[in-house]
Amino acid sequence: MSNDINSTRLRRLCWFAKPLLVAASMAASCAAASMPARPVGDVAQEILFTSMRDGMMQIYGMRDDGSGEHRLTRTDSSELQPVWSPDGARVAYISYRSGQGDIYVMNADGGMQTRLTDMPGLEQQPRWSPDGSRIAFMADQNGPGGIFVMAADGSGRRALTPADMDAADPAWSPDGKRIAFIQGQGKSARIMLVELENGAIRPLTRDGKNERNPVWSPDGRQVMYLAPGGRTEGVNIKLASVDSGEVVSLTQNQYINSQASFSPDGSRVVYLSNADTQGGAMNLHTINRDGSGAKNLTHSEVQDLAPVWSGDGSHIYFMSFKDWPGQIYRINPDGTGRQRLTTTQAQESYPVARPSATQQALVGQSK
């Protein structure tokens, strides 16, 4: 039974990330000396990322031009999945310092690291509510995964899904009233919506199957997701209307299209695709929300991974294996101005952009 549970956890952690995991295991031997902690009160960093330079995955911060790198976590365990709070003041993340994955929160400068969960099994995928007052997450409790929500201080935890539903990957609607999530695995996986007010659960699409990675549009009208097909159908990006369930395809090819996210204004999408390399390396692409204007930004012969928009939409951050075993880069949305931000011999991965000042101000007004 435990082997089955561990396999399930691995599948959830590794969707479209096999190249990254291979690199991580090789990068441990290249770890460099640790950097000093940032002085408390200096929260100038705009980007969070995880680094193997200390032998174990740790969370770092840096400014948007790559300067001011500093270590936020300092443990002998893996620290990963950092997520900015909407106001940019705190960071939720996963820590294995207890021997299993638990959710922690810390201040933006790395101070006040506080454990929020202590459940049986694994807790992961922390997601802040749009107003920053709550955190949704997945917990398996040594069995099928479930979606939970709690206050930002860890109090008031409650389950949003039945114990036997096998749910993961929560995503808040922009108004904070619903959460999209994945029910099931493999070909039976589909996206569901749960209402926070009354707990009602329904499928997003009428005939959905084999759906992955829900992402809400900033206006809350659509959910973007991945739909893996058969061997000749590829993995494509789709958009579903929240109200009608109507589905349109953003990409339509026989290759892999993944890790898609909306620009802050919702007009464009950045994603990975190996269509131009005919099944080879994943490159960064952008496309307009209506499916027009698709463009390859990197034209790389090596893997690009984990693209994210800057808070103001002026840049895209990503990881590239151009510099082994993986470094973080910045590029303009039109493909110009590519700049390497990290320069170590260890793996630097999964950049997370801080919310823009405008986004932070909106959170303050909603409280």
Q: What is the pLDDT of residues 242-279, one digit of tens each?
A: 999 999 999 999 999 999 999 999 999 999 999 999 99
What integer best gives the mean pLDDT of the chain? 87
Paired residues of 128 in beta bridges: 135
Domain boundary assignment for the chain:
2-366
Q: Is the model more confident about 123 or about 20?
A: 123
- The answer to whether residues 363 and 70 touch, using CB atoms and an 8 Å cutoff, is no
Q: Does the pLDDT value for residue 218 go beyond 90?
A: yes
Instruction: Quickly state the pLDDT bin for 111 (edges 50, 70, 90).
Output: very high
CATH topology of domain 2-366: Neuraminidase (2.120.10)
Mean pLDDT of 334-354: 95
Q: For residue 330, give every residue at least 6 positions away whose Cβ sits within 8 Å of its Cβ, in sequence order, or none.
A: 64, 65, 66, 315, 316, 317, 337, 338, 339, 341
Mean pLDDT of 307-315: 95
Strands (E) located in 229-326: 235-241, 247-249, 257-262, 268-273, 283-288, 295-296, 304-309, 316-320
Could you give the CA distance from residue 344 to residue 340 in angstroms, rounded to a whole number? 11
216, containing H or E segment? strand 212-216
Weakest mean pLDDT among 35-44, 225-234, 238-247, 273-282? 35-44
Instruction: Quickly state the pLDDT bin for 18 (edges 50, 70, 90).
Output: very low
- For the four alpha carbons of 120, 159, 92 and 354, in that order, the dihedral sign comes to positive
